[in-house]
Amino acid sequence: MAPTLMATGNAAGSDLARLRRDFPILRQSVHGHPLVYLDNAATSQKPRQVVQAEADFSVLENANVHRGVHSLSQRATSRYDGARERVRAFVNAGHCDEIVLTAGTTAGINLIAQSYGGSVLRQGDEILLTEMEHHSNIVPWQLIAGRTGARIRVLPVTDRGELDLSRLPELLSTRTRIVAVTHVSNVLGTVNPILEIAALARAAGAVTVVDGAQAVPHFPVDVQTLGADFYVASGHKMYGPTGIGFLYGRRELLEAMPPWQGGGGMIQRVSFEETSYAPVPARFEAGTPPIAQAVGLAAAIDYLSALDWAQLRGHEDGLVAQAAERIAEIPGYRLIGTAPTRVGALSFVLEGVHPHDVGTVLDLRGIAVRASHHCAQPLMRRFGITGTVRASFAMYNTLDDVDALVAGLREVRQVFGG
């Protein structure tokens, strides 16, 4: 069982200290300084429970799924299906068949774009994206738009880094078939009002595809309440393994969709003349899936589920707020994204210093941040910048980490002046 969190503590706070012991990777030095890991939006660290579950499976239970009458294969199958059930409960989907296990968010969006998009989009139809999307919620849509003759339209972002919902009615037309939007911006931390967007999309006759990669590590998600038609996320950003993720899709939609990739495991009967496909979700899981990773994902969900979400959110919000307040004292600091509802990420620029140089000086102090365009070049262009420094927080970060970040940024100022 995972220990509980204190509202906001430093590493000495006993609950937080106990929680950090589940993440041995955090106990190391980088360039002679204790590691301060603030790149959680890129990938979070995994608790030993997740690593152990994956290892135990590989050491003791490894076999292929759905293929064997032998006991090990049946055990592997039930572990794999167990992971699917865990994901279902995690996002409160109505049925296990609505959960496709994927290689991650990117794979999920490509699947929806190719299979759903490929079958419904016609010349002149529209796909509505937003200006704050990650490249993986842009490029798959461009690929399918190119193939079908559909058109991409873009919902703009305001100066505060929120979606400009006032433009939504005008951008949602009778030609809109798909609205693809991120739940939480990986750059700005903005939490988007999915409920409202999905309702408007539905009224316009479009389905909503939600990129939940940055949401699921931070707050509970209920796909039924949200009214999302599709919802995708990655295991590795929610304390689970890489190479695994999930896609929720409303059952009627999934059932009407053609397969995307062909192979073993997704068929009913194959001959050279004709092949009939397996029912969902197997239809979308061609080939041997990432089984150990699915077991690890289930362990990550168990780990998260044992925590008190409200406490977790309070702790993380406290850290982001502290960091934002204290970094603001540094000369030339500009926060990118000032929406009132934000989680996880804090993006900023320091006047006169390139984000890369900030990242390198911080690295020399053992502080891991991301300095780049964060796979969101259109959003960078929107703010007239080429990149930001992004500090992104997770449950195991501490006020000491915030102190280290602020001290590191002061040093950046010393090195580069200004």
Ligand X SMILES: Cc1ncc(COP(=O)(O)O)c(C=O)c1O
Residue 411 binding partner per list other proteins, ligand X, none, with a CB distance cut-off of 5 to 8 Å that depends on partner kind: other proteins
Rounded to a whole number of angstroms, the distance between the first and last alpha carbons of the chain is 48
Q: How many Cα neighbours within 13 Å face the side chain of 186?
A: 30
What CA–CA distances, in Å, run from 271 to 155, 257, 276, 277? 46, 21, 9, 12
Is residue 401 within the footprint of ligand X (CB under 6 A)?
no
Least spacing, CB of residue 212 vs ligand X, in Å: 8
Give 340 or 384: the residue with its C-beta nearer to other proteins.
Answer: 384
List the structure tokens of 251: 């059952």
Residue 121's contacts (CB-CB under 8 Å, 6 or more residues apart) are 127, 144, 145, 148, 149, 150, 177, 178
Least spacing, CB of residue 296 vs ligand X, in Å: 14
Give 44 or 176: the residue with its C-beta nearer to ligand X.
Answer: 44
Residue written as token pair 């750059």: 187
- Say if residue 106 is exposed, middle or buried (CB neighbours under 10 Å; 0-12, 13-18, 19+): buried
Return the residues of window 117-146 that contact ligand X according to CB under 6 A.
Answer: 134, 136-137
Return the residues of window 201-220 that contact ligand X according to CB under 6 A.
Answer: 211, 213-214
Interface residue list for other proteins (CB under 8 A): 31-33, 135, 353-357, 360-361, 364-365, 371-375, 377, 380, 386-387, 411, 415-417
Is residue 387 within the footprint of ligand X (CB under 6 A)?
no
What CA–CA distances, in Å, run from 118 to 46, 145, 207, 260, 307? 36, 9, 14, 9, 40
Site mask, ligand X, residues 23-62, x = CB under 6 A? ------------------x---------------------
Residue written as token pair 């009778």: 174
Least spacing, CB of residue 105 vs ligand X, in Å: 4
- Please give the positions annotated as active site: 375
Least spacing, CB of residue 129 vs other proteins, in Å: 18
Phi and psi at residue 369, to the nearest 5°: -125, 170
| Interaction site with ligand X (CB under 6 A) | 41, 104-106, 134, 136-137, 182, 186, 211, 213-214, 234, 375
